[in-house]
Every structure is written in C-alpha cells, then in structure tokens.
Amino acid sequence: MQLKNTNIASTTEETVTAEFHGEGNELIAVRMAVDQAAYKQNSILRAGG
C-alpha cells in the first residue's frame, strides 16, 4: 500500500485510533489503548508496528 495520509483520533479517553489511507481508497485502522501522556507520533509508530 502506498501511504497517502495518516489520521490519529482519540476514540475515548483510553483509546486512540490510527488510520492509514492509501491509494485507491485503501484504509487500515488500528485502535489501541494509550496512556494519556502519549503523543500522536508515538501512536503512529506503535500502530505501524
């Protein structure tokens, strides 16, 4: 998948969803528990494994 855009959203106070958008409407969404002190960049790195 050719990555075009990445979005990070707080789903609840305890979870974050990272969305990876690719060409041709491809989408991978990863929901994970997070510490409130975590930064968005750390969420991207964690979701991408």
Query: What is the pTM for the complete model shown?
Result: 0.65
Instruction: State the pLDDT at residue 27.
Output: 95
Instruction: State the pLDDT at residue 46.
Output: 72
- Torsion sign across C-alpha atoms 23, 4, 11, 46: positive
Per-residue pLDDT tens over the stretch 1-49: 899 999 988 877 788 899 999 999 999 999 988 776 655 666 677 777 6
Residue in 42, 2, 45 with CA at minimum distance from that of residue 26: 2
Instruction: State the pLDDT at residue 14.
Output: 82
Instruction: State the pLDDT at residue 22.
Output: 95
Instruction: State the pLDDT at residue 39.
Output: 56
